[in-house]
Amino acid sequence: MSQDSAFSVWGSTVLVGTTAVQVATSNNQGPTSYRVRCLVAGYFSWAPVIAGTNTVPTILAPAAPTAGVPSVNTIGMSLGGVEVFMLPPNAFFVSNNAAGFEVTPGEGI
């Protein structure tokens, strides 16, 4: 599939807070990338869809890593930051802040 822009939107933007939500496409294709906009400085964690289901996988609460204790599948962002990440298709997301991030599925960088 050809692209006509650096990032092609493939679904609705989802508000990510302290309850895990799935960010899926509306075109029945798995996104290769997610555009993330940080509304409140903090961390978000992600987890892939459990194969063959759409059940919410176990996602560790997002937290800052400390010396000797990594934060699995967790990314920290500064207030107002906008980044594109390549993560598994139709992944689930959770934030350490209520209404912390906007996540849009798509393709590109």
Residue 39 lies in a domain: yes
The 10s digit of each residue's pLDDT in 22-77 is: 999 888 888 889 999 999 999 999 999 887 776 778 877 899 999 999 999 999 99
Residue 19 lies in a domain: yes
Domain that holds residue 101: 12-84+94-108
Residue 5 lies in a domain: no
Gap between the terminal Cα atoms of the chain: 15
Domain count, the chain: 1
Residue 3 lies in a domain: no
Residue 50 lies in a domain: yes
Total-model pTM: 0.89
Residue 70 lies in a domain: yes
Which residues, including other chains, have CB under 8 Å from residue 70's CB and lie 6 or more apart?
none
